[in-house]
Structure 1
Amino acid sequence: MSIHPEIAKILATLPAPDGSPLHPEAMRAGEESMVPPLAERLPLHAVEDATAQTPSGDVPVRIYTPIESDAYGLLVYFHGGAFFLGSLDTHDHVARSLAKETGHKVISVGYRRAPEAAFPAGLDDCYAVVRWAAEQGRSLGWDGKNLAIAGDSSGGTFVAAVAAKAHDDGFEAITHQVLFYPSLDLDFDVDRYASLRENAEGYGLETAGLKPFNSFYLDSGANPADPLVSPIKREDLAGLPPALVITAEHDPLRDEGELYGKRLQDAGVKATVSRYEGANHGFVQNFSWIPEYYRAFLETGDFLNKG
């Protein structure tokens, strides 16, 4: 189907890319300026900032408690932003909705970003916080059951990489992985996936912008041939946690996400691939106010809570 009319209205207001250099600090400031005031955010039982003391260092986290309860499943969330954008604040509304609709206590990770922090700093922070959450389970009110990980876009890259690292390390506490329109192949050859051509222009994220947006990460030492950078290049996907892969119809990254889901299935992993028609890359962050797309949070809740 065509792009959702509400998304189309907003896309029509965006300036056409002109190839100008990207300036991380200015772009981050622009993102932060759009964060709504606290009074306008989805209320939860409790939201608190904390520091996870890990072997990777002290990592800022924000902990979202949906309701008052004796115990919770845990969901560790990695925000997107091409490895150099995004923050605890810009994705605060995503974490709040995840907490509300899953009933899990959500731990959002303020990992180190490129270009200031070289690869694998951000990945190490994400993995370290997952292990910290397991170790601190009692103080976090963990019920000892679900320990899920979730992320959008480049945060989805980290989800796949963290799941792989945990498997290789024999850390088996991760029970679920949720990837929202993940970036899983940082080799941006346009002939690798049909969606890179089909959705190349006019849908917000453009194929020509993939290289410059990810250049800060790649220039920091992330090698696209490394399966921890491009998780779809991992040869053996057997033994990874059950997965929910949510993709967007009008996203250049659509096909790599869907191929990853199929490869998981072929490897014997319980994996669900769910394509959202009429949506574009970033819809969970940018357009979850549209009921059809808020459903991604409900689907995540169903995935985590089914028997």
Structure 2
Amino acid sequence: MPLHPEVATFLATLPPPPAGPLDPVAMRAAEEAQVPPVEERLPLHAVEDLTAHTATGDVPVRVYTPTAADRHGLLVYFHGGAFFLGSLETHDHVARSLAKETGLKVVSVGYRRAPEAAFPAGLDDCYAVTRWAAEQGEELHWDGTTLALAGDSSGGTFVAAVAARAHDDGFDRITHQVLYHPSLDLDFDEDRYASLRENAVGYGLETAGLKPFNAFYLDSGADPADPLVSPVKRKDLSGLPPALVVTAEFDPMRDEGELYGRRLREAGVTATVSRYAGAGHGFVQHFSWIPEYHRVFTETRDFLTRR
């Protein structure tokens, strides 16, 4: 099917990208300016800003409690933004929807970003908060069952990397990994995946923009050959948590996400790959208000509760 008409209409209103190098400070400010005031956001039982005291240092987190129940399962959420954009604020609506639709308590991680923080600072923060959430289970009123990871775009990179790192460390409390239109191979050679050519132009994120958008992360020491940077390059995927991999039809990175799902299944891991028709990269953050795309949260709920 073609690009969703509401998405296409929005993309047609966007000005061409500014000439010259990317300015992370200006781009972050522009993102934050679009965040609605608190009173206009999806209401939940409780939303609380905390500091996770971890082995990597203090990490800001925002904890979303969906209901007044005494105990909840946990979902640790890593926002996207090409490793230099995104924040607790810009992805607040995603975390709220995850909490409401899944019924889980969501811990959103304000990890350190490039270029100010070199690799692997952001990854270290995400892994440390995941372990902190399990260790602080009593304080978080965790019911001791679900401990899921979820992330969009570069947050999906961190989901796969944290799941692998936890497995290697013998930390076996993670029950699920959920990746929304993930970036899993930071080698952007256009011959690697058909989607890099098929979806190169005209769908929002363009193939030519992948290198400059990820340059802050790569220039900080992230090696695309490292499986913690490009998780699809990990040789042995066996023993990882069950996965839901959500891809977008018109995303240049569609095929690497779907390859990750296939490789998980080949390694004996339960993995579901769900491609959203008519969608482009970033639809979970930018277009989840469209009913066809808001179902990504109920699909996540169904995956997390499936026996």
TM-score bucket of the superposed structures, by smaller chain: over 0.9
Pairing 1:117–2:117 present: yes
Give distance in 2, aligned partners of 1:202 and 1:16. 12
Give distance in 1, aligned partners of 2:136 and 2:119. 26
Q: What is the Cα deviation at residue 289 of structure 1?
A: 0.7
Give distance in 2, aligned partners of 1:26 and 1:17. 13
Give distance in 2, aligned partners of 1:56 and 1:13. 42
- Any idea what SS the aligned residue of 1:8 has? helix
Pairing 1:63–2:84 present: no
Give distance in 1, aligned partners of 2:37 and 2:90. 11
Q: Percent identity?
A: 79
Structure 2 equivalent of residue 32 of structure 1: 32
Structure 2 equivalent of residue 157 of structure 1: 157
* CA-to-aligned-CA distance 1:43-91 (integer Å, 9 cap, x gap): 0000000000000100000000000001100000000000000000000
Q: Tell me the amino acid that sits aligned with residue 192 of structure 1.
A: R
Structure 2 equivalent of residue 44 of structure 1: 44
Give distance in 2, aligned partners of 1:190 and 1:19. 23
Structure 2 equivalent of residue 90 of structure 1: 90
Give distance in 1, aligned partners of 2:192 and 2:14. 28
Q: Tell me the amino acid that sits aligned with residue 208 of structure 2.
A: A
Give distance in 2, aligned partners of 1:235 and 1:39. 47
Give distance in 2, aligned partners of 1:234 and 1:165. 11
* CA-to-aligned-CA distance 1:225-254 (integer Å, 9 cap, x gap): 000000000000000000000000000000
Q: Tell me the amino acid that sits aligned with residue 302 of structure 1.
A: D
* CA-to-aligned-CA distance 1:98-141 (integer Å, 9 cap, x gap): 00000000000000000000000000000000000000001101
Give distance in 1, aligned partners of 2:68 and 2:18. 50
Aligned-residue CA RMSD in angstroms?
0.6
Give distance in 2, aligned partners of 1:191 and 1:133. 40
Q: Tell me the amino acid that sits aligned with residue 276 of structure 2.
A: Y
Pairing 1:177–2:159 present: no
Give distance in 2, aligned partners of 1:67 and 1:203. 38
Q: Tell me the amino acid that sits aligned with residue 98 of structure 1.
A: L
Q: Tell me the amino acid that sits aligned with residue 257 of structure 2.
A: G
Q: What's the TM-score, normalizing by structure 1?
A: 0.99
Structure 1 equivalent of residue 22 of structure 2: 22
Structure 1 equivalent of residue 191 of structure 2: 191
Structure 1 equivalent of residue 127 of structure 2: 127
Q: What is the Cα deviation at residue 16 of structure 1?
A: 2.7
Give distance in 2, aligned partners of 1:71 and 1:130. 18
Q: List, as ranges, runs of 4+ consecutive aligned residues in structure 1 with deviation greater than 3 Å.
A: none
* CA-to-aligned-CA distance 1:157-212 (integer Å, 9 cap, x gap): 00000000000000000000000000000000000000000000111100000000
User: Which residues of structure 2 form unaligned runs of 5+?
Assistant: none
Structure 2 equivalent of residue 306 of structure 1: 306
Structure 1 equivalent of residue 224 of structure 2: 224
Pairing 1:251–2:239 present: no
Structure 1 equivalent of residue 210 of structure 2: 210
Structure 1 equivalent of residue 148 of structure 2: 148
Structure 1 equivalent of residue 233 of structure 2: 233
Give distance in 2, aligned partners of 1:18 and 1:38. 31
Q: What is the Cα deviation at residue 20 of structure 1?
A: 2.3
- Any idea what SS the aligned residue of 1:197 has? helix
Give distance in 2, aligned partners of 1:115 and 1:168. 28
Q: What is the Cα deviation at residue 19 of structure 1?
A: 4.6
Give distance in 2, aligned partners of 1:20 and 1:199. 24
Q: What is the Cα deviation at residue 17 of structure 1?
A: 3.5
Give distance in 2, aligned partners of 1:151 and 1:20. 30
Q: What is the Cα deviation at residue 18 of structure 1?
A: 5.4
- Any idea what SS the aligned residue of 1:39 has? helix
Structure 2 equivalent of residue 74 of structure 1: 74
Give distance in 2, aligned partners of 1:203 and 1:62. 32
Pairing 1:106–2:128 present: no
Structure 1 equivalent of residue 279 of structure 2: 279
Give distance in 2, aligned partners of 1:306 and 1:292. 21
Give distance in 1, aligned partners of 2:285 and 2:297. 11
Q: What is the Cα deviation at residue 14 of structure 1?
A: 1.2
How many residues are paired up?
A: 307
Q: What is the Cα deviation at residue 306 of structure 1?
A: 1.9
